Structure 1
């Protein structure tokens, strides 16, 4: 081992053990060279290595100080099969690649970090976002693209801002994205629901709702729906377009899983939007990490000015560091490589889930799309609460469907499944445990 590596390891261990706490000053270079019987340049090499890893920082003429004594740790192993958590598996993300982008972004955009950004977003990121959107079959002008603090902010702004159709009521699929349901309920906004199943929605019911209510916009997840895991057919999407145009209703398309679509012919609603009625939303939470808090919104020209005004009063601009880092991550090709890798991984899991559902639960109705989300329709005699408690005892975690519904809307007996945090080899084990628990319950009630 080289001498500077030995010094580096010794100092790192002392920092990790807490001998040098956050903010503590390290011994001087002179004292360290005497302690380790080496030259000052050797000590400096070791200190530079610690500084590169963000464990210490230097103050000119004062010395080196500890940033934090805590070091990254590997995820703790557990025996649970987690079908409840929807966040992506964090430890597989190439964080060092993104860290390079953050560091480079700080160097490149250091002047921009000390002033407010633009309401629309970092211009160079919008250029890269336009290129990315085209891979999703979203072709638009840069003036129509807004960078937001996640899709949640876009939904919040769209829900409260006035629309050209002068309507106030929001229409949502049931079930739907639980955080948006929470938002609508918390702020008591005028909202109605429409039932969605694995087959889609009833277009006759949609027309009735459009014609008898003051519908401002229809919030929908056309492909890889959360929590159902199903997608609209081409006929269903055509019907939605036709009715929205007929009754002057806007469509808010949440395409949060665009990165995982395996069917190249499954285009977004936006692709066929000839009347500028579709608002397209894209999140990076599932493909990268929720803490990034960056989303994309593609707006019709009629909404740009109002959306910009409302966004400006909310946060002036989304995080400049996150925007700059994401721009470099996209431009460098890192995102493309990671997207391919993680998409292949989730496709394997999605295939494993479908295989296990057909193998262990062939008598139950489920979604058949290859997706990280799916569901099981349960008979009325099954007690959902008891089922989930029994499965928890078998180390299988599930989440309730309740938050995915509006208050008072009829709730299907749906068992949600999410494989975002389930290893491929554990999926079959988990579905098998669900099948055993359902068999035991059916035997008990029969």
Structure 2
């Protein structure tokens, strides 16, 4: 099964990327069998599945050929290299698999999908989600799992519901998730910031703020931070969980990139929580597709009733059709296969991003920026420029060359000192464009 999954994932990525054009002939069955060290029957089964997905077609006595990719945008003019897009690459969305799950969901749940559901979520999805969460070392009973309309809804509810510690001020990493910053600003929620670097946060400073600042909850992204790219190590996670218990501060752990984790021994902060002070949030938009709008919140018992009540008033329930389709997608094994594909694809892009920066940063010997590689590399990273004025100039010059980059300013509170960081995200950037794009970015910085 492993060889089959590796073969079909690789071929799908090559077809969706730039390795093949419409009408190109794939390698022969014998050649693929030799290349992937598997039987010819395994190759034939993989090719038949690609044929069923309308990605290739068979020509008698000739071989298999790449089909026209319908829906692909034609760009007769200049093509943009976009280092600002955080959404996954549309070319690797699981369109056909998920379409199958939607159709199947309508057949299976036709009496349930077209009436109001429950604020907590579709019961059958919650049961499946309990099993899924256990694979991330997040163990909870079904009463603690809430299906939300993306992580953004969870954050909005958590910002407004009362917490048992009776406090109202929130603490956020800086820089941080821009939409959360906008939400806090729009609704006038008291917020303070703590600086995060590629290595993490100052734990002594975190303790001081927990001790003196009447903090309700602390929002953090434990791994593959956007835009810094870094992840906490095990001792940092344990320390954050310990401080939360000691000072009665809740942790809002946004583990939206958990599916890209390569090290099975890396657990979330939730796994070290012995005092029921960690809220675990998980999104599927960055691994499947953004339009799914399904998130999961795992809540301590003390927060469940208020969260449920506020959610009921916000939207009655999250999309029942999306929930049912996701349940089938998880149960069928399709999600696991897609996750392996995404890990492979993003792993290559991450490695190429960091290797290219190191090569060109070393060759330019520039004093206008610094680069600090993260301990655990992901699809996000940043270059720290000498000042904000240079950052703006670089962005404008690159825009004329059809390259999009941006600063991290939107991820800061208005009251916090902003660092001149140039964000680089390769979630949607093809591998050949990473090298050429990064080379031009570094050349423009000077």
* TM-score tier (shorter): 0.7 to 0.9
Alignment deviations for residues 373-411 of structure 1 (CA, whole Å, 9 cap, x no partner): 111111238611111011112222112311111112101
Partner of 1:132: 132
1:303 & 1:370 partners in 2: Cα distance? 34
Is the Cα contact below 8 Å between 2:407 and 2:423 reproduced in 1?
Answer: yes
Structure 1 partner of 2:145: 145
Matches within 5 A, 1:407-426: 407-426=414-433
Are the aligned partners of 2:237 and 2:272 in contact in 1 as well (CA < 8 Å)?
no
**Alpha-carbon distance between aligned partners in 2 of 1:400 and 1:114, rounded to the nearest angstrom:** 44
2:165 aligns to what SS in structure 1?
coil
* 2:231 alignment partner in structure 1: 231
Match of 1:74 in 2: 72
Q: After TM superposition, list the pairs within 5 Å mapping 1:290-369 onto structure 2.
A: 290-362=290-362, 364-368=370-374, 369=376
Distance 1:435 1:293 in 2: 36
Three-state SS of the structure 2 residue aligned to 1:352 is helix
Secondary structure, counterpart of 1:114 in structure 2: coil
Instruction: Summarize deviations over 1:198-234 as a string: whole Å, max 9, x none.
Output: 1111112111211121211000001111111101122
Shift of the 126–282 alpha-carbon distance from structure 1 to 2, 3 Å rule, reads same
1:102–1:381 distance in 2 versus 1, CA, 3 Å:
closer
Query: Where do 1:251-266 residues align within 5 Å?
Result: 251-266=251-266
| CA deviation profile, 1:141-192 (whole Å, cap 9, x unmatched) | 1111110000000000000000011110010000000111111111110110
Please state how far the C-alpha of 1:114 moved relative to its aligned partner.
2.8
Q: Deviations over 1:296-330 (max 9, x none)?
A: 00011111111111111111110000000100111
Asked if 2 retains the 8 angstrom alpha-carbon contact of 1:226 and 1:373, the reply is yes
Residue in 2 that maps onto 1:391: 398
Are the equivalent residues in 1 in contact too, given 2:407–2:420 (CA < 8 A)?
no
Q: Answer whether contact 1:105 1:325 (CA < 8 A) is retained.
A: yes
Structure 2 residue aligned with 1:122: 122
Tell me how far apart the structure 2 counterparts of residues 128 and 399 of structure 1 sit (CA, whole Å). 39
Select the residue among 431, 436, 442 that pairs with 1:435. 442
CA distance in 1, matches of 2:73, 2:266: 36
Query: In the superposition, relative to structure 1, how do residues 385 and 109 fare at CA in structure 2: closer, same or farther (>3 Å)?
Result: same
Instruction: Flag the 1:421–1:76 CA change in 2: closer, same or farther, 3 A.
Output: farther
> Structure 2 matches for 1:114-193, cutoff 5 A?
114-193=114-193
Structure 1: gaps of 5 or more residues: 1-52, 54-70, 440-446
Paired with 2:100 and 2:110, the residues of 1 have a C-alpha distance of 15
TM-score, with normalisation over the residues of structure 2?
A: 0.80
- Output the CA distance in 2 between the equivalents of 1:175 and 1:361: 24
- The Cα offsets for residues 324-365 of structure 1, whole Å up to 9 and x where unpaired, read as 010011111111111111111000000101111111124622
Provide the rounded CA distance (Å) in 1 between the counterparts of 2:384 and 2:436. Answer: 20
Residue 143 of structure 2 aligns to a residue in which SS? helix
Contact kept, 8 Å, 2:388 with 2:420, in 1: the verdict is no
User: Tell me, what secondary structure is at the counterpart of 1:421?
Assistant: coil
Secondary structure at 1:366 match in 2: coil
Residues 228 and 367, structure 1, Cα contact 8 Å, conserved in 2:
no
2:201 aligned partner: 201
Q: Is the 8 A contact 1:171 1:192 kept in 2?
A: yes
8 A Cα contact 2:105 2:321, kept in partner = yes
| Pair 1:401-2:401 in alignment | no
Q: CA deviation at 1:104?
A: 1.1
Q: Please give the secondary structure, in 2, of the residue aligned with 1:297.
A: strand
Secondary structure of the corresponding residue to residue 303 of structure 2: helix
RMSD across aligned C-alpha pairs, in angstroms?
A: 1.6
Distance 1:245 1:101, change over 3 A: same
| Equivalent pair of 2:164/2:302 in contact (CA under 8 Å) | yes
The aligned residue for residue 284 of structure 1 is 284
Query: What is the CA–CA distance in structure 1 between the aligned matches of 2:403 and 2:170, rounded to whole Å?
Result: 36
